């Protein structure tokens, strides 16, 4: 019986995080990168993408349960960082690299 309770709770957690669009920005200060110039924004975005890709690989290697529990929150935060950086680049009308 206890196993079923755990399974149902984990299913609820995973189902609730299927859409992380708004949740990812909850972990990031909205105007965190406004003070950076375009060159710095692009470099920071490249580093954030690299970190996201590395964490995503670890998430995949961990499997659906362990990967979500260990790396899920980091992935959500990193996605928010990327979104905020992309927004700052768009608002400053930075030329593409």
Taking the C-alpha atoms of residue 47 and residue 71, their distance in angstroms, rounded to an integer, is 18
Q: Rounded to two decimals, what is the model's pTM?
A: 0.68
- Count of C-beta atoms within a 10 Å radius of residue 17: 14
**Residue 5 vs residue 87, higher pLDDT:** 87
95 pLDDT tier (thresholds 50, 70, 90): confident
pLDDT of residue 14: 53
Q: What is the C-alpha separation between 36 and 70, in angstroms, rounded?
A: 31
- Pick the closest to residue 38 from 50, 26, 46 (CA basis): 46
**95 CB contacts (<8 Å, ≥6 apart)?**
38
Question: What pLDDT was estimated at residue 97?
Answer: 67
Structural tokens at position 77: 């935060």
pLDDT in tens, 1-58: 565 556 655 555 554 444 445 566 666 777 888 889 999 999 999 999 999 999 988 8
**SS3 (DSSP) at 3:** helix
């Amino acid at each position: 019986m206890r196993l079923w309770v755990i399974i149902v709770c984990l299913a609820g957690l995973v189902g609730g995080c299927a859409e992380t669009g708004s949740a990812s920005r909850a972990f990031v200060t909205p105007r965190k990168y406004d003070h950076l110039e375009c060159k710095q924004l692009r470099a920071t975005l490249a580093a954030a993408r690299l970190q996201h890709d590395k964490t995503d690989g670890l998430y995949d290697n961990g499997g659906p349960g362990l990967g979500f529990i260990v790396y899920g929150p980091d992935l959500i935060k990193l996605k928010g960082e990327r979104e905020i950086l992309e927004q700052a680049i768009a608002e400053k009308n930075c030329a593409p690299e």
